[in-house]
Chain A
């Protein structure tokens, strides 16, 4: 099976940079995804890393290191609207896990003025 660990809470000020880490244990996976969820809202896709390295999408970047079983989401120029929960997730390659996305328990980001 898969398990993912994230910090439960992170706080930062507007305009700052914050990094949300994700460590995982899996017997094999296609890639690492990140989702954002505002209170009362649906999770929305942010980024996906199939390969090691950095993927950049505007103010958000995501990184994966398979050898370290580690990834992170980097948020730059933080805005108040970035206050939300952030989830890392993997889709395993072994039978029984290849069809489902397994999520971490999420990191609650609070952006202060």
Chain B
């Protein structure tokens, strides 16, 4: 278990630029999540993959956000035309489908995005 890996750890960008984040989940986990977290708040769900299929997407997610998980392994989250309101910590998490740990989410350390 090497854990969930995210990169970069920090990203500073100018308003209007595109950014892409990468997540490498725990290898045997077929379920992958992206969350967004701002200071003093709990993680807010963005999207969910089961293997390579994106099965759930938050209604709060604008069309500037897109996520992929080719081949059901790593995932990328892209934000186009960034806005200052996009500044947040972007967290990736994965979980197994097999009991008894199937209700346990393993989080990466996140990518802190700052939009100037």
- Residues of A at under 8 Å CB distance from B? 8, 30-31, 33, 35, 41-45, 48, 50, 87, 89, 91, 96, 99-106
Q: Residue on A with the closest CB to B41?
A: A105
Q: How far is the CA of A100 from the CA of B103 in the complex (A)?
A: 11
Q: Residue on A with the closest CB to B45?
A: A100
B104 at the interface (CB under 8 A from A): yes
Among candidates B58, B93, B104, B107, residue contacting A48 with C-beta atoms closer than 8 Å: B104
Number of A-B contacts (CB under 8 A): 55
Q: Please report whether the interface of chain A is mostly helix, strand, loop or mixed according to DSSP.
A: strand
Task: Find out whether the CB atom of A43 lies under 8 angstroms from the CB atom of B91.
Answer: yes
Q: How far is the CA of A87 from the CA of B55 in the complex (A)?
A: 25
- Residues of B at under 8 Å CB distance from A? 4, 31, 33, 40-45, 48, 50, 55-56, 58, 91, 93, 103-110
Query: Shortest beta-carbon distance, A30 to chain B, in Å?
Result: 7
Task: Find out whether the CB atom of B56 lies under 8 angstroms from the CB atom of A106.
Answer: no
Task: Find out whether the CB atom of A45 lies under 8 angstroms from the CB atom of B105.
Answer: yes
Q: A43-B107, A50-B103 are in contact. Are A101 and B33 (CB under 8 A)?
A: yes
Task: Find out whether the CB atom of B103 lies under 8 angstroms from the CB atom of A91.
Answer: yes
Query: Shortest beta-carbon distance, A22 to chain B, in Å?
Result: 11
